[in-house]
Structures are given as C-alpha cells and as structure tokens.
A and B are shown apart, each in its own frame.
Chain A
Amino acid sequence: MAGSRRRLLAGIAGSGFACLAGCATGNTDDETAFTVGLASDPTDTSRYDNWGGMAPYWTRVIEPLVWGTDDMQPKPWLATDWTATDDTTWVFELREGVPFHNGEELTADDVVHTFEENILTERGDFVYGWLHLEPGSVTKRDEYTVAFETTDPFPGFPGTIAHNMIDIQPPAADRQAGEIIGTGPFTLEEIRRGQYVRVERFADYWGGEPNPTELTFRAAEDETTRTDLLESGEVDLIYTPAKSRLSSLRDRDDVRIASQQSTGATSVWLNVHREPTDDVSLRRALNHAVSQTELVETVLEGVGEPARGPISTVVDWVDEDELPTYERDRDAARDLVDRSAYDGTELTCLVDADMDDGKLIGQVLQSAFDEIGVDIDLAVLERASINDRTERGEFHLQVGSTGSNSPGADYLMWENFHTMGIENKDLYEAEGTGLYNLGGEVDDHIETGYQARDPATKRDAYLEAQRTIMDAAVVVPLFYQAYVVAADAAIEGLELHPIDAFAEWSNLTRTADTNE
C-alpha cells in the first residue's frame, strides 16, 4: 500500500514536472517548432514599448510600413512606395491584398487609425519629436494611399518609421486587452507573463507562408541561464550567449554560432563643458591611451569591432577611414597630459550597472588612463542615477553606447552632438553649455545632413561633423557592437540583421539527420 502511494506521488510529481517543462518550452518535439531564448523579457509590461503585453520586437506578429535593408536603407514593406510631395508632406502607397490575422484587408483607414490613435494619441509627446508628427497629421488620400504631414522638413521620415514599434494594427484589435492583430508571418497565440510569448504560422502571410509552424520566445535574461538552456536543448536558439562560454560553444559540433555587427557603438563620452575634460589636449591624450583592438580581443572575446568613430559603420553615412585616427601611444598621451590643464585631480567616470561588460571595460580604461597619469574614479550606477548625474553635467567621462532600432539613424548625430539634441539641450538652455556639443560648424553640418534628401550630401555633411568631433576628441571610441546568436547546428535559414529585432524567422528549418 505504501509502495503504491509512493508510486502515485512520484507519478503526480513526474507529470507536474513534465507539464511545467512543456509549458515552459513549447512543443519541442515538433520539427517545425522552434524556441528562441531572448536576453530581454518579451512580456515585460513595464517597458514603454510593450504593446498590449508583448514587446513588438523579434516576434514578427506586427509589421511597420517600412522595413530596413542590411545596409540600413528604408525598404518597402506594407508600403510599396513613398514620395515627398513638398518639404513636409509624405505620401505612402500601401501594398494591396495584405490580410490581417483576423482576415480583414489592410487599408488606409487602418494606417490612419494606428498612427492617430495607437501611436500619436496613446503614446503622446515622446513620439511627436521622434516622428515629427502631431495628432491630426495623418490623413487618408484613398483606400491605399496615406499622407503624413510632418511638423518640419524631415527627410529621414521613411527610415524612422521602419521600426517595430510603428506597427500597423486594425481598429478591431483591442491591444489593451492583449488582443494583438497584425499582418506579420506569425500570429500571437499565448503570452505567459515573465516566461514566454508563443506565436504560430500565419498561412495567409502576404510574403508567403513561413516555414516554422510555431515559435516560442522565451525570457532568459541571465546569460549563463540562457546558455545553459541552449546546451541542455531546452531552447533551439539564443541571442547573446555568455561570452565566457563562446570559445567552448565554438568548439562544439552540435552548436552553430553566428554573429552580426549591429547599429550600436560604445565609446567613452567626454563632457567637453566641464574642467578639465574641456581641454582638448587632455581629451586627445585619453584617446591615445586606449587600445581598442586589445579591448575587443580580450574583454569582449572578439565580439565586436575596434572603433574609430562614435557611430557604427553599418550606418551608411559613416566612413571611419575618413576620420582622424588615434593609435595607442602612451608617450604622446603623457606629453599631451603635461600640456593640458589637468592637475591630477580624480575624474569621475560613469558606468551603467546594467551595461554588458561595463565594469570590466571601466576597469580596463581606468588602468589605461592611469598609465598616462590620469586618475579616474569609476562610479557604477543604476540608469536613473546616471541620468540624474548627466542631466546636471556632474561627471567627466561616461562609458556609454548609442545605436538605432531603425534605419533612420540621423538622430544619433542630432541627439548626441547637436547643441539642441536631447543630451545637450537642457544644459545649453540653462547654463549655455551642454555635454558633447561643440556648437558652431558641427551644428551646421548636422543640420545640413539632417535636412539632406540627397544621400551624398547627407554623407558629406555628417562625415564633416564626425571629423570635427573626432579631431576635438569629444569621445574615445571603443568598439562597434556585434551580437552573437548560438543555435542548434541542425537549424538552418536564420537571417540576422544589423538591427537584432529585425531577425527573419520565416526560413528556419531543422535538418532531420543532425537532430537525431
């Protein structure tokens, strides 16, 4: 009797574990179902960009009008064409015959509803400045034509709306209730808070039926846990495996590693309006103190590219060969320090506590700067504390990154380096200073690039601005970011994009022989 009770309890426990495992990972027995381990929780409702309980990224349930090419150009998607009819008016032609997941066809009404209600009204001020639109600025011209009236001339508009957040949904979708209806290759089936989002194949997808029948996007924010999940076979593919285990993963036959340079770039940002980092000699000295190659090869385990400029080279108007170069030269750096106004005081360097490898990078920099006689104090702080310090300009250096989730990357120049950019504007208006803004000709070049419709003009203007910025050593470029995806070697057809959230899953397949 006791034995049978034990067997019963064991059976219940076993079934419970099996159910839990099944719930957590989806149906992994299905050769056409895949589980993806993400570095951020796709169900995190505290995020500002979480649409109805599901992050708009990666899942490919919803789609924007414009997509991005691999070289970061706007690419027709739900819109097939667009034209600027005057300085502030953009007319978009919609793709005909695109079905939503509820069977309705995409029309201009859906686009107007999405922009006016879901984006401009619901999201408010923060999207006005980003998209250069205000409520009432999106109008229907005909069933498949929509006009956008921007608040000021904005040539970067098509690239800017090529963003997962600027997705089109019909009025029928009650997003607040978690009902998400899109046009993407996958339909939303289940959201389990803090655990996963499960989507299924949309057979009527306008771009052709995708291969996978089911995708599960699982939250696995700790890199070690994420890597363990891949190695144990609980997930098929993970973003950003633990760097410390990359070399062992590369040695394995049953794991495939792919990496892709992203739009991100990490630099040391120097406050040019605070003593002593307002001294260009000191800033150049700091540039001569660092070996980007060594940093990438050691701390980053080869993930990333040594940087010579502040913006990733995947952005089409960046050409680092045109920028001034600072090789590591400690003697030259010491001479520059001697010539500068630096008097040996300790400089404050902010590091975001959540930044990948931030503490290690900070310590490498601290040691490198110490070699040339510059003393820095690392302040590893939470994001809110860093914002507080930067808003008041109370720091000298900051280890930080900049990148874009859309092909419209003009704002990287404007927001960081223009006097009226978000980083500099408040301090400029309050004290006539800023953080990383040189003003004058840099502002002029950025304005020219920002308003240029001709790509060559844009490129020349931005390159000139970057040249001046690097000549004045406003940043110490460290590395252009890359992301790594590790997958079961049996999986084929993964297409990575410089914007990681633009990954294409439709062609995923699993080869049967490798899986056995």
Chain B
Amino acid sequence: MIAGLDTVVAALRRRYRAVRTSRTTAAFFANPLNGVGLVIVAVLSIAAVFGPVIAPYDPTSQDLVNRLQPPTPAHPMGTDQLGRDVFSRLLYGARLSLGIAVAVTAIRLVLGTAIGLLAGYVGGWLDELLMRLVDVQLAFPGLVLALVVAGILGPSLRNVMLALAVVGWASYARLVRSSVLSTKEREFVQAARLMGVSRRRIAVRHLLPNVVGPLVVLATMNLGTVILGTAGLSFIGLGAQPPTPEWGTMLSAGRHHLREAWWLANAPGATIMLTVLGFNLLGDGLRDVLDPTHDEPLEKSI
C-alpha cells in the first residue's frame, strides 16, 4: 500500500519537474504578468471553493444595529446597509460569479464548437446558413442583446446565464470553423479519409485537437467578460435577487453610499476588476504558450 503511494508520489514529482522545466512553463512565466494572472485566478478559485469555510459570517445574517460599519478586524470589509459582513458576502459571491462564468463559458464553448465544426467540415449550404447565423449574432452588441433576453425572461441568475450563453457562442464557432477549414485539407486528414475513417472520428480525433489551444485561450478570456456581464446585468436588477450575495447586486446597492460608506461599492468593484484582470492576464499567458503565432484579438467582447 505504502509502496504504491510512494510510486504515485514519485510519478507526481517527476511530472512536476517535467512541467517546471518544460519550455511551455518557461514561456508562460517569462512574462511576470502571466504569473500574476494565475495567482489571482488561483486565489479566487480557492475563495470560491472554500468560501463557506473561510467566511466568518453567514452572508445573509442581518445585524441592523451594526449597519454601515467601516472595515474593522471583526469585519475586514465593513458591513452593509443591513449589517451584513461584506467580506463574507464577497466570498459567497465568488462562488456564484465563478460558477456562472464557468457554466456560461462551457455552454458557449460546446455550442460554438459544435456549430463551427459542422460548418467547417460539412461546408456547402450548411456552412453558409450557419455562418450567416453567426454574422447575425455578431451584428448585435452582445451585452445589449443579453439585456433584451434577460429582460424578456425576467430577473433571475438562471435567466442571466441563459442570456449570456445564447449571445456569446459565435466567436467560438467562427474560430473553430476557420481552423477546421485549414486543417481538413492537410495530408493526415486526407490520409485518414482514404483509410475509411468515419467523418465523426476524423472530426473528433483529427480536427478538434488542432483548435484546442486557441479555444482554451478564448474561453479563459471569456470567463472574465462573462463575470463582467453577469455583474452588469445584476447591477441593473436583472440578475440575482436579494438577499443573494452577488457582486453586481452588491455594487448596485453600494452606489448610494459612495460618500459615507465607500467600502460598500469599492469592495465588490475592486473584486470584479481584479477577477477580470486575472482572467485576462491568464488568457494572455495561455495565448503566449498555446497560440504563439496569434496576433489578432480572438474575442469579440460582450
């Protein structure tokens, strides 16, 4: 048993050494900002996962007597209009924001990849049809379209997720299609086709792996914009419903107290800013190592 564990540990160490000394890792850390992005995202992820353990208070627990208290050791980021601990609400909010960002990005990724793959590989009228759909989608300002969708569906976080998901897949579709168009004419794909490999297998085993790098980069940078979009929609009342501790909602409530309780708006505002910055830096870093030839912006921001 112990011998088995030692084997696993040794393997992990070897893997760690390989990663640490690899050219990819070196390329990533060559720019210190990439490391900053990684650290920010890592800290936020830890905060999101372990938020309920770290948070000193229940995020919805009210204490009206101690409302609008400035930051103190007991309340590191002060208290809000209902005496709730702002730090605890931010930690719980991290779970929500990151969870939504991952879910929305996953939906966009799957939807956009499937459409792009289909359009690029099948071609013909289907390609025309799907790409015009992409053009239509990209013709609308993303956040405005999301606002319309969320407005029609009604205020809730679930509807915000849907709204953001349906407006952001087109960038993925375009990226995947262009990659598939160039890859499908290469010799190894032709060879696979001549060997009688099925179209589905060619698509999954030969075409998709070639676009994974740019997709990961786009998805990483997308996480930041989704967080920004969620906060924006919640800020105007279309997202989280009270008392849900969501960053955009907290920012909205805090804006009325900018003078006498600066921490109310600044704490969630700074957190949103740091989070988006973190994902953008991380995305840039990943692009450096996964898509080094790229020099155009991958993403149409929402």
Binding site for B on A (CB under 8 A): 223-224, 242-245, 247-248, 294, 298-299, 353, 359-360, 362-364, 366-367, 377-381, 385
Whether B82 lies near A364 (C-beta < 8 A) is yes
CA distance A298 to B68 in the complex (A): 10
- Closest A residue by C-beta to B255: A224
Chain A proximity of B84: nearest CB distance (Å): 9
Task: Specify which chain A residues have a CB less than 8 angstroms from the CB of B257 in the assembled complex.
Answer: 244
- Closest B residue by C-beta to A224: B256
Chain A proximity of B133: nearest CB distance (Å): 31
Q: Name the one of B60, B241, B259 contacting A380, with C-beta atoms under 8 angstroms.
A: B241
Chain A proximity of B262: nearest CB distance (Å): 12
- Closest B residue by C-beta to A379: B241
List which B246-277 residues lie within 8 A (CB) of chain A: 253, 255-261
With A242-B256, A244-B256, A363-B82 as given contacts, are A298 and B64 in contact (CB-CB < 8 Å)? yes
Whether A367 lies near B260 (C-beta < 8 A) is no
Task: Specify which chain B residues have a CB less than 8 angstroms from the CB of A247 in the assembled complex.
Answer: 260
Whether A299 lies near B81 (C-beta < 8 A) is yes
Given contacts A360-B253, A378-B242, 20 further A-B contacts (CB under 8 A): A224-B256, A243-B256, A244-B256, A244-B260, A244-B261, A245-B259, A245-B260, A247-B260, A248-B259, A298-B67, A359-B242, A363-B82, A364-B82, A367-B60, A367-B62, A367-B82, A377-B241, A379-B241, A380-B155, A380-B237
> Considering the complex of A and B, which 10 residue pairs feature the smallest CB-CB distances, nearest first?
A298-B64, A244-B257, A367-B62, A363-B243, A363-B242, A359-B242, A244-B256, A353-B237, A378-B242, A360-B81
CA distance A379 to B255 in the complex (A): 22
Pairs across A and B, CB under 8 Å, 17 listed = A224-B258, A243-B256, A244-B257, A298-B64, A298-B67, A299-B82, A353-B155, A353-B237, A360-B253, A362-B242, A366-B243, A367-B60, A378-B241, A379-B241, A380-B155, A380-B237, A385-B154
CA distance A299 to B62 in the complex (A): 12
Task: Specify which chain B residues have a CB less than 8 angstroms from the CB of A367 in the assembled complex.
Answer: 60, 62, 82, 243
CA distance A364 to B83 in the complex (A): 11
Secondary structure dominating the interface of B: loop
Secondary structure dominating the interface of A: helix
Whether A294 lies near B256 (C-beta < 8 A) is no
List which B32-87 residues lie within 8 A (CB) of chain A: 60, 62, 64-65, 67, 81-82
Task: Specify which chain A residues have a CB less than 8 angstroms from the CB of B259 in the assembled complex.
Answer: 244-245, 248
Task: Specify which chain A residues have a CB less than 8 angstroms from the CB of B64 in the assembled complex.
Answer: 294, 298-299, 364
Cβ proximity bits B234-245 to A, threshold 8 Å, 1 near / 0 not: 000100011100
Chain A proximity of B82: nearest CB distance (Å): 6
Task: Specify which chain B residues have a CB less than 8 angstroms from the CB of A223 in the assembled complex.
Answer: 256
Question: Chain B CB within 10 Å — which of A359, A362, A380 has the most?
Answer: A359
CA distance A353 to B242 in the complex (A): 11
Whether A363 lies near B62 (C-beta < 8 A) is yes
- Closest B residue by C-beta to A298: B64
Chain B proximity of A97: nearest CB distance (Å): 50
CA distance A51 to B64 in the complex (A): 44
CA distance A378 to B260 in the complex (A): 28
CA distance A245 to B243 in the complex (A): 24
CA distance A214 to B154 in the complex (A): 45
CA distance A213 to B52 in the complex (A): 63
Question: Chain A CB within 10 Å — which of B243, B258, B261 has the most?
Answer: B243
- Closest A residue by C-beta to B84: A363
Task: Specify which chain B residues have a CB less than 8 angstroms from the CB of A378 in the assembled complex.
Answer: 241-243
Chain B proximity of A257: nearest CB distance (Å): 16
CA distance A95 to B261 in the complex (A): 54
Task: Specify which chain B residues have a CB less than 8 angstroms from the CB of A242 in the assembled complex.
Answer: 256
- Closest B residue by C-beta to A370: B60
CA distance A475 to B105 in the complex (A): 45
Task: Specify which chain A residues have a CB less than 8 angstroms from the CB of B62 in the assembled complex.
Answer: 363-364, 367
Chain A proximity of B30: nearest CB distance (Å): 45
Chain B proximity of A488: nearest CB distance (Å): 19
Task: Specify which chain A residues have a CB less than 8 angstroms from the CB of B60 in the assembled complex.
Answer: 367
CA distance A224 to B257 in the complex (A): 9
